[in-house]
């Protein structure tokens, strides 16, 4: 474990995410999943315990995303298909009240698969040898009498790293978030929506893993931006976040070139008032990142059950800017597909 003002706390050896009393401990960041989380040992308000697996898949013409969230009182499955050409979008949400840890989401991002088959919807997140992930979906009534079905294989780049963070919340007793973000998958497969086939081809299609476990605070506001694609120097990706969690020991900000993580400090977000489709600006406190985001469409989600609520505004668009890599080289990128979102939760 390395601790310095420059590197924050980088963890390379396996550690427990909870102490013997079940409280969050050993905060920091890592390049691979090194934290072990025993969800049966959690202490705190278990109604705020959560687990979420989300996959985002891009091509030059389409973005699809699939998320399973177990939020204890409030659970749901969301599938979304967004056309990047004509800017049409379709979304289907299945709310699962009182999920209470029963959706089968494993405690590790490197073990176990997820299979849900209920209410006319079948979805599988299968983890295979070598870190390959297979997304299978069959939703007969996706909307407008159309069926969404297909299979996409996500293959990690050779020796690809991830951005793993384990952070406490500043104003939440025993509240924490353990995350893994991996924007370094090559996508291949087909998702068919009605008569329309969305084809993902190696070399022009990318996949992102967004994996989160923890205990929420009473209220939270979070901003996240993610994208992947090609630059002259090779395949790039990034994951940038800012919220109420205490990131002093390890921010959730990183840039990837050919699967290698280049760690960044705090994120500075300049979001236009009211959001809309105006230009967003992102930078890092260490001066290494300057990036503009031009949204071209918005998707809104609202979920509520009993005292819990989640509101998300997701903007799809393109990113352009520059990044100073570790060691000093600067690369420039233009029109990288991705999205930025703001999410509010309250209990």
Residue 132 backbone zone (phi > 0: left; psi -120 to 50: alpha; other: beta): beta
pLDDT digits (tens, 9 = 90+) for 253-275: 999 999 999 999 999 999 998 77
- The total number of structural domains in the chain stands at 1
* pLDDT (mean) for 292-317: 91
* pLDDT (mean) for 208-229: 95
**236 inside domain:** yes
**3 inside domain:** no
Mean of per-residue pLDDT scores for the chain = 92
**pLDDT value of position 171:** 77
Is pLDDT above 70 for 214?
yes
Strand 289-305 and strand 280-284: the pairing is antiparallel
**44 inside domain:** yes
* pLDDT (mean) for 202-219: 94
**pLDDT value of position 3:** 41
pLDDT digits (tens, 9 = 90+) for 84-135: 888 788 999 999 999 989 999 999 999 999 999 987 899 999 999 999 999 9
**265 inside domain:** yes
**6 inside domain:** no
**pLDDT value of position 2:** 40
**2 inside domain:** no
**1 inside domain:** no
* pLDDT (mean) for 41-52: 87
Given pLDDT bands bounded at 50, 70 and 90, which one contains residue 7? low
Which residues span the domain enclosing 115?
11-346
* pLDDT (mean) for 223-242: 96
How many angstroms separate the CA atoms of 122 and 115, rounded?
Answer: 8
Residue 4: Cβ-neighbour burial (10 angstroms; 0-12, 13-18, 19+):
exposed
**pLDDT value of position 159:** 93
Structure tokens at 66: 């699939």
**4 inside domain:** no
- CATH code at position 100: 2.40.370.10
Return the residue matching tokens 């939270």: 220
**pLDDT value of position 119:** 78
- Give Cα 61 to chain centroid, integer Å: 20
Given pLDDT bands bounded at 50, 70 and 90, which one contains residue 289? very high
Is pLDDT above 80 for 5?
no
Phi, psi of 158 (to 5 degrees): -60, 130
């Amino acid at each position: 474990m390395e601790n310095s003002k420059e590197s924050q706390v980088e963890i390379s050896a396996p550690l427990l995410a909870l102490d013997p009393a079940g409280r969050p401990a050993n905060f920091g960041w890592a390049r691979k999943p090194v934290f072990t989380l025993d969800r049966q040992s959690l202490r705190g308000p278990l109604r705020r315990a959560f687990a979420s697996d989300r996959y985002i898949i891009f091509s030059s013409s389409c973005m699809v995303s699939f998320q399973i969230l177990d939020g204890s009182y409030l659970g749901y499955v969301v599938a979304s298909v967004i056309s990047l050409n004509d800017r049409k979008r379709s979304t289907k949400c299945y709310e699962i009240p009182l999920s209470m840890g029963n959706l089968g989401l494993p405690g590790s991002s490197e073990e176990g698969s997820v299979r849900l088959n209920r209410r006319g919807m079948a979805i599988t997140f299968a983890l295979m040898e070598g870190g390959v992930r297979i997304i299978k979906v069959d939703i007969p009534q996706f909307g407008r009498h159309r069926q969404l079905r297909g299979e996409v294989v996500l293959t990690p780049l050779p020796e690809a790293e991830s951005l793993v963070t384990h952070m406490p919340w500043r104003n939440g007793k025993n509240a924490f978030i353990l995350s893994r973000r991996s924007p370094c998958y090559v996508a291949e497969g087909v998702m068919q929506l009605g008569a329309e086939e969305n084809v993902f081809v190696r070399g022009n299609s990318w996949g992102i893993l967004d994996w989160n476990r923890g205990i929420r605070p009473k209220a939270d506001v979070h901003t996240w931006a993610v994208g992947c694609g090609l630059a002259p120097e090779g395949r790039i990706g990034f994951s940038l976040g800012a919220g109420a969690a205490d990131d002093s020991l390890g921010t959730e900000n990183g840039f990837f070139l050919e699967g290698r993580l280049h760690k960044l400090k705090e994120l500075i977000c300049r979001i236009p008032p009211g959001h809309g489709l105006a230009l967003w600006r992102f930078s890092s406190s260490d001066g290494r990142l300057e990036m503009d985001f031009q949204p071209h469409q918005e998707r809104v989600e609202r979920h509520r059950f009993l005292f819990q609520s989640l509101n998300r505004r997701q903007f799809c668009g393109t990113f352009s800017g520059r990044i100073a890599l570790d060691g000093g080289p600067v690369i420039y990128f233009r029109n990288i597909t991705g999205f930025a979102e703001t999410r509010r939760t309250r209990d």
